[in-house]
Chains A and B, each alone.
With several copies, the nearest count.
Chain A
Amino acid sequence: MGAEHFCFTSEPLSIERTYALAADPASGAVVTMVGTVRANTQGRAVAFLDYEAFEPMALEVFARISRHIHECWPATGKIVIHHRLGRLTVGEASVIIAVGNAHRADAFAACQYAIDALKLEAPIWKKEHWADGDSDWVVG
């Protein structure tokens, strides 16, 4: 599994690039999930978000997620996780996960597991800055 499969970047993410890394002639299905910055949270207009991560530990969490997926869904092909850091505005992609599998049901299950586990375990934080000038760290 090449290093480019899990990465943090301050550049805009590309679904094309993420997909291309996950695609593989043995996988009949590639399921991709893109998380984006929403315009509103709890009824409050969002201006922008600041993302930060403890990268080396987060990358180990990604590797653990990947090992778990290969154990649970053995026909899994490639797993790609790209996470953006820094300042993001509304509509921008913060994370893209792509999982290939010969069986599409397993690709869906594994991709969903990956994003759920990432959100629970990976040391990544975001601070929400609202249009009204207020800001706070997002919990959960």
Chain B
Amino acid sequence: MKIEIKLFASYREAFARDELVLELPEGTTCAQIQRHLAGERPQLARWEAVVRYGLNRRFVAPDTPVADGDELVLIPPVSGG
């Protein structure tokens, strides 16, 4: 299945792009995707314990499986305002 991953902040910098499209096995969870990305870019490991997941623009739990066509955003600690 194809998953669109939007990248912001340190994730955008680590990949030097705004977006990735990954081909992943059915049933892959948000947390597994984070570990996959941190495997490719070790500087992202610092967010492992604190990153949150926005799936189709809603916060979801780390063990939520993604489905074909989903939009996922990895949300390191926010600091708006």
Closest to A57 in B: B57
A94: chain B residues at CB < 8 Å are 80-81
B5-13, B25-33, B34-42 - interface stretch: B5-13
Interface size class of A (residues with CB under 8 A): 20 to 34
Q: Determine whether the beta carbon of A124 is less than 8 Å from that of B81.
A: yes
Taken together as a complex, chains A and B put the C-alpha atoms of A119 and B58 apart, in Å, by: 16
Give A52 to B6 CA distance when docked, in angstroms. 13
* A84 → B minimal CB distance (Å): 10
Chain A residues, CB < 8 A from B59: 121
Instruction: Decide: A54 and B81 in contact? CB cutoff 8 A.
Output: no
Any chain B CB within 8 A of the CB of A140? yes
Residues 22-76 of A at the B interface (beta carbon under 8 Å): 35, 51-54, 56-58, 60
Compute how far the CA of A56 lies from the CA of B77 in the bound complex, rounded to whole angstroms: 18
Our pick among B54, B57, B76, B81 for the contact of A115 (Cβ within 8 Å) is: B81
Please indicate the chain A residues that have their CB under 8 angstroms from the CB of B8 in the complex.
52-54, 123, 125
What per-residue 1/0 map shows which CB atoms of B64-81 lie under 8 Å from chain A? 000000000101111111
Contact residues in B for A95 (Cβ distance below 8 Å): 80-81
Q: Select one of A124, A127, A137 contacting B80, CB under 8 A.
A: A124
Q: Which listed residue (B54, B58, B78) contacts A124, Cβ 8 A?
A: B78
Judged by a CB distance under 8 angstroms, whether A105 is at the interface is: no
Q: A121 to B78, Cβ gap below 8 A?
A: yes
A83 at the interface (CB under 8 A from B): yes
Q: List 24 A-B contacts (CB under 8 A).
A: A52-B12, A53-B8, A54-B8, A54-B75, A57-B54, A57-B57, A83-B80, A94-B80, A94-B81, A95-B81, A118-B81, A121-B78, A123-B8, A123-B54, A123-B75, A123-B78, A124-B81, A125-B8, A125-B9, A125-B78, A126-B80, A127-B9, A137-B76, A140-B79
